[in-house]
Amino acid sequence: MTFTILLVDDNPVQAMTRQAILARAGRKVVVTSDASQALAMLDDPELARNVGLVITDHLMPKMNGPEFVSKLRGKFSELPIIVLSGMPDAEREYVGLNIAYQLKPIAPEELIRLVNSFSRDALDRIA
């Protein structure tokens, strides 16, 4: 059994690059460029049941990473979340939100390793 990764990034080049990296590693990835759209997508019970990991950017228009993660936690308290950011100090904005924080840039093999570290928990969650 495999799980779906929901990737949220307003930069289409970075989003498509990460999607391609993860797809080559055998992962199913759904991409959206907007945090509000990601939340709306997770209102679909089938998608929500299969999403085992969310990867999101920190800085996005309309709704930034901390706001998005807070709303996500209101619906899915145990869903694994990775926040990617080029800002080292931004990690403190996620205190108490139970996320993994990763500085960008992130090498393809590091992204795969990070995602793989969540595989067991994600599969247990959707099983």
Section 67-85 average pLDDT = 96
How does the average pLDDT of the chain come out, rounded? 92
Q: Tell me the average pLDDT across 51-69.
A: 96
Predicted confidence at residue 125, as pLDDT, reads 53
Q: What's the rounded Cα separation, in Å, for the pair 18 and 21?
A: 5
Average pLDDT estimate for 89-104: 95
pLDDT above 90 covers what percent of the chain?
87
Q: Which of 104, 123, 120 is closest to 18 using CA atoms?
A: 104
β strands within 50-121, DSSP E: 51-57, 81-85, 100-103
Q: Report cis status (omega within 30 of 0) of the bond before 66.
A: no
Q: How would residue 126 be classed by pLDDT, with cut points 50, 70 and 90?
A: very low
Q: 3.40.640.10, 1.10.10.10, 3.40.50.2300, 3.20.10.10: which CATH number matches 4-121?
A: 3.40.50.2300
Residues ≥6 apart with Cβ < 8 Å to 28: 2, 3, 4, 5
Residue 127 — very low, low, confident or very high, per pLDDT cuts 50/70/90? very low
Contacts of 12 (CB under 8 A, 6+ apart): 33
pLDDT for 118: 80
